[in-house]
Structure 1
Amino acid sequence: MKKSLFLIIFILGMSSNAQDFNDALLFSREDLQGTARFMGMGGAFGAVGGDLSALKINPAGSAIFATNQATFTLDFKHNHNNNLFRQNNTQTNSSDLDISQAGVMFVFKANNENVPVKKITFGINYNRASNLNDEFFAFGQNSNSIANYFVNQANGIPLDNLTPFTNESFFERYDGIGNEYGLSGQEAYLAYESFVINSTNPNDLGSTTYESNVFANNLTQQYAYGLDGNSGKVSFNSAIDVANKLMLGININGYFVDYSRATSFDEQSGETNGVNRIVFDNLLNVRGSGISFDFGAIYKPINEVRIGLSYKTPTWMNIQEELFHEISTNSQDNGFVNANPEIFNIFPDYKFRTPSTLTGSLALILNKNLLLSADFTSRNYTNMKFNSNGFQQANEEISTLMQTATELNFGGEYRIKNISLRAGYNYHESPFSDEVNATDIERFTFGLGYVLGNTRFDISYVNTQQDRREQIIRSGLQSPVNINANQHNITAGVSFAF
């Protein structure tokens, strides 16, 4: 990629963005992230409270705190992906270390025992929603060329629009077709300029049909995918304790998402006619922010039992994105050709809404040293929606492919003097109405805590398993990459009571 592309910024005034339902899931995704105690118990904290990450399940949980508390947590993540493409297996590994949580809670107790409100709390907490870092590599033999995708993108566009006008430069035509036909028009233009596709009637500038310039039936294809980024939220929390029986709480959340997705598709053959190599590179940068609200209650019928109920509103987001793409080809007739606009397309901002969430919780405290908890969550992914022009197809895909998904979180903690032993289990139903694109998620969690005076040290381990399917190209290339994803998280944190 040439350095000059970073010096030339192109404002693209069109409604056709680079997003689809997969990005909608990235915006809505919430992994098991938080304090080490929270993760060690499988995140089953909706009725437990007393932990800064518990606030993202039920904001009433801050009223459980007995004293002021500050917590800081680091998370190490390792991804191991087994990738299957066209009967060929590859493996990819990636790791990173980052802050998963940091926050503080202040507790103000009533001086008069006769007042109904026994306690009020105020706090602020950062919690990473999802560590998006991921990568995989796939290769195999295929009879379907990526040229078929570009034929689909070009069909319907008059040849006259894919040909620079008199005294018009390559970049000016790229600009013009982008404003008229959007991203698909730009991809068609790059494919035509790099000889990936030809017009079926090159002598007619009004012709709107195209054909592949790849004639090989046995193609070697490679695909590299890299995702780098995070999503998270900063929550401003307040809760009250009414009569030591009922806790009520609210969060005001500021949400952010920031990621880059780089893909490279390389197709080669030994064919002497037409194009024998195509390299299609894409770099998408996405940034967004939003706001949401959480409401929750915890009721204690007796000291040993806690019942929780919470509701998370949708997150209303504003998204910005920019895209760079290029196509390189090689052929005997034209040699090496690089159709590179050397610019980033900056798309108009757009709106997105995540699904709301409803959670019911139960916790049992036995003999003051054994804690058992469970959360049941329902989230309707069909309510995800792009609320700007140009996203009708993406919204239709969401309505067709998504479903209401349930999540079950179970956790336990056993205390032996200053030591706490923890374990948990998650079962998260796939957001897809079938399991073709992604299976259900299973997590197994373990944790350990140690209290030293006013300080508690925690460590946890989480194993996450899921199978998913990644479609390399939206159309024209039938073979997806099937991925068996195995994720390992080791989290360490420290909490200070003051």
Structure 2
Amino acid sequence: MKKLTMLLIIAVFAMPYGNAQEIADALRFSQDEVQGSARFRALSGAFGALGGDMSAVSINPAGSAVFTRSHASFSLSSLNVDNNTTFFNNSGSSSDSKIDLHQGGAAFVFANRNESSNWKKLVLSIAYDKTANYRNQWFARGTNINSIDNYFLAYAQGQRLDEISAFPDESVEDAYADIGSFLGFGNQQAFLGFESFILEPVEDTDDNTAYFSNIAEGTFNQEHDYISRGYNGKFAFNASGQYGDNLYLGLNLNAHFINYERFTRFTESNTNVGSLVTDVAFENNLVTTGNGFSFQLGAILKVTNELRAGLTYNSPTWFTIYEETSQFLATSATDDLGTFSTVIDPAIVNIFPEYRLQSPGKITGSLAYVFGEQGLLSFDYSRRNFRNTKFRPTSDAFFASQNEIMNDLFTTANTFRFGGEYKYQQFSFRGGYRLEESPYKDDSVYGNLNGYSLGLGYNFGNTRLDLTYDRSERTVDNQLFAVGLTDAATLDTTRSNITLTLGFSL
């Protein structure tokens, strides 16, 4: 059917930012995991009042001033992700693993030889930490009373037929590309539903805006595959100093970067009476890259020789994000003439305009008690208001609506981290526990995270070798699609790491 030329001309100037962005994306890029050195992970990240570790600099920038000598460390870890999935009383399990170099950094200590100055030393550092690992894989299978047609109908209803269909002599590839460029992601999804015969217009006219489904009501056998890869990393450029004998102050300027890839494949079949379309296979690929900036201010105070207190302010992280998507849709249908198949494989990569994401800032308070050379106990408390998560520009209508939804769904989340270390000769024995509250008001759909850690270290003198095992668990309801077919698969996810760190004084 022929599109209105004037409509397309207007659409060029009103090009949407692309509605591929979802609230799940904002949350994913706003959360940090306990990564870093083996010693840091062994105490479950409770290092805000301790310092003296390269990964502690990422928690409190004053931590580098605790070093008495220049120091460097590098860490290798093995990640294993186990998922137990429940979808409409059917269960499944999957596992994935990866080994990578996820931490490295060096701190250079410059002592002040002016004895009359209260500033005892200056420390300059650079540290890299992988703040989140997105490697994951899971599979869900079940029998549902809701069909994938709801996804396509949600985008199609209210759209003109000439805005979601191809010219009579236009290829599917060209139509898919043009509709995405001029009219946006939502019209593109409606186009897929129409051209695959899932949707049918109530009236076969250009100005039709109402649609019905060629999939009849009943039950549907559904399967969903999910595979993701990538990480969120941070380079911290750190400066800190010791003032007097008891006060340490520091500043981090952080450069963030995102590399995230996700593949999903959804299949559905039915034998419902009256269904024209009986089988659907729908694939989606997403590639996200981005960069960002944040800063941190921190202080550590020696209240007594044994008791230390720390305070850190983390600014919001201001991300600039780029996204690309590609899609594939295949259906099988049966009519009076027999069974036929439709394949829509545009081989088109949708490149969306860049957008900005502001993740919420964070305040961390810390206490630590050091038992001389024998060991220590440490506690960190962090508070973060996830309602301050924002898509930008806020003048974009879609982003503004998403921000309102996040303000309603999200809440202030607290994080508690405990750690302890006992030293015996050259050996160090460590353990920790952490609780991260859900960023959602309703924690039944996104549960709290519980984690624990155990570690061992050996000090050779100028060189130290540390080994840690840590484990965390969280239950999340993962929606299959953001609109239409919003049924969720429940994931009980366990993430475990074995981390080895080599550290040495310079």
> Which residue in the other structure is 1:115 paired with?
117
* CA pair 252-478 structure 1, distance change in 2 beyond 3 A: closer
1:455 matches 2:447: no
Question: What is the distance in 2 between the residues matched to 1:271 and 1:480?
Answer: 23
Q: The residue matched to 1:115 in structure 2 has which SS?
A: coil
Question: What is the distance in 2 between the residues matched to 1:100 and 1:446?
Answer: 19
AA aligned opposite 1:414: Y
What is the aligned counterpart of 1:494 among 465, 483, 502? Answer: 502
Question: What is the distance in 1 between the residues matched to 2:490 and 2:135?
Answer: 18
1:409-463 alpha-carbon deviations (Å, 9 max, x no partner): 1100010010000000101110001113211111111110001121100011111
> Which residue in the other structure is 1:209 paired with?
210
> Which residue in the other structure is 1:136 paired with?
138
| Contact 1:68-1:104 at 8 Å conserved across structures | yes
1:472 matches 2:472: no
| Contact 1:144-1:478 at 8 Å conserved across structures | no
1:13-57 alpha-carbon deviations (Å, 9 max, x no partner): 531231111100111110010000000011000000000000111
Matches within 5 A, 1:66-105: 66-105=68-107
Question: What is the distance in 1 between the residues matched to 2:169 and 2:144?
Answer: 41
Matches within 5 A, 1:327-342: 327-333=329-335, 335-342=340-347
1:235 matches 2:240: no
Deviation, 1:367, is 3.5
What is the aligned counterpart of 2:392 among 387, 391, 397? Answer: 387
Q: The residue matched to 2:183 in structure 1 has which SS?
A: helix
| Contact 1:13-1:348 at 8 Å conserved across structures | no
What is the aligned counterpart of 2:453 among 445, 448, 467? Answer: 445
1:231-255 alpha-carbon deviations (Å, 9 max, x no partner): 0100011100011211000001000
Question: What is the distance in 1 between the residues matched to 2:15 and 2:70?
Answer: 51
Question: What is the distance in 2 between the residues matched to 1:274 and 1:125?
Answer: 59
| Contact 1:404-1:431 at 8 Å conserved across structures | yes
| Contact 1:216-1:269 at 8 Å conserved across structures | no
Question: What is the distance in 1 between the residues matched to 2:131 and 2:211?
Answer: 44
Name the TM-score, length of structure 1 as normaliser.
0.95
Question: What is the distance in 1 between the residues matched to 2:165 and 2:383?
Answer: 52
Deviation, 1:478, is 4.7
Deviation, 1:180, is 4.1
Question: What is the distance in 1 between the residues matched to 2:217 and 2:383?
Answer: 49
1:167-199 alpha-carbon deviations (Å, 9 max, x no partner): 433233223322343111001101110111111
| Contact 2:163-2:187 at 8 Å conserved across structures | no
Q: The residue matched to 1:175 in structure 2 has which SS?
A: helix
Number of aligned residue pairs: give it.
Answer: 487
Q: The residue matched to 1:309 in structure 2 has which SS?
A: strand
1:272-327 alpha-carbon deviations (Å, 9 max, x no partner): 74011011100000000011111001111211111110101111111001000121
| Contact 2:309-2:368 at 8 Å conserved across structures | yes
Farther off after superposition, 86-95 or 335-344: 335-344
What is the aligned counterpart of 2:306 among 304, 308, 313? Answer: 304
Matches within 5 A, 1:149-164: 149-164=151-166
Question: What is the distance in 2 between the residues matched to 1:254 and 1:56?
Answer: 12
1:429 matches 2:437: yes
| Contact 1:86-1:479 at 8 Å conserved across structures | no
CA RMSD, 1 decimal: 1.5
Question: What is the distance in 2 between the residues matched to 1:430 and 1:166?
Answer: 51
| Contact 1:135-1:225 at 8 Å conserved across structures | yes
Question: What is the distance in 2 between the residues matched to 1:180 and 1:13?
Answer: 6
Question: What is the distance in 1 between the residues matched to 2:162 and 2:45?
Answer: 58
1:346 matches 2:351: yes
Q: Which runs of 5+ in 2 are unaligned?
A: 1-11
Deviation, 1:219, is 1.2
Q: Which runs of 5+ in 1 are unaligned?
A: 1-10
What is the aligned counterpart of 2:196 among 186, 194, 209? Answer: 194
Q: The residue matched to 1:111 in structure 2 has which SS?
A: coil
Name the TM-score, length of structure 2 as normaliser.
0.94
Q: The residue matched to 1:178 in structure 2 has which SS?
A: helix
Farther off after superposition, 85-94 or 169-178: 169-178
| Contact 1:253-1:292 at 8 Å conserved across structures | yes
> Which residue in the other structure is 1:367 paired with?
372
AA aligned opposite 1:208: T
Question: What is the distance in 2 between the residues matched to 1:215 and 1:351?
Answer: 41
What is the aligned counterpart of 1:411 among 398, 404, 419? Answer: 419
Deviation, 1:270, is 3.0
> Which residue in the other structure is 1:3 paired with?
none
AA aligned opposite 1:295: L
Question: What is the distance in 1 between the residues matched to 2:300 and 2:152?
Answer: 56
> Which residue in the other structure is 1:264 paired with?
265
AA aligned opposite 1:338: V
1:357 matches 2:362: yes
* CA pair 484-372 structure 1, distance change in 2 beyond 3 A: same
Percent identity between matched residues is: 38
AA aligned opposite 1:210: Y
AA aligned opposite 1:168: E
1:225 matches 2:233: no
| Contact 1:233-1:256 at 8 Å conserved across structures | yes
| Contact 2:90-2:142 at 8 Å conserved across structures | yes
Q: The residue matched to 2:189 in structure 1 has which SS?
A: helix
Deviation, 1:350, is 0.8
Question: What is the distance in 1 between the residues matched to 2:295 and 2:118?
Answer: 26
1:192-246 alpha-carbon deviations (Å, 9 max, x no partner): 10111111223x3211011111125121100001110000100011100011211
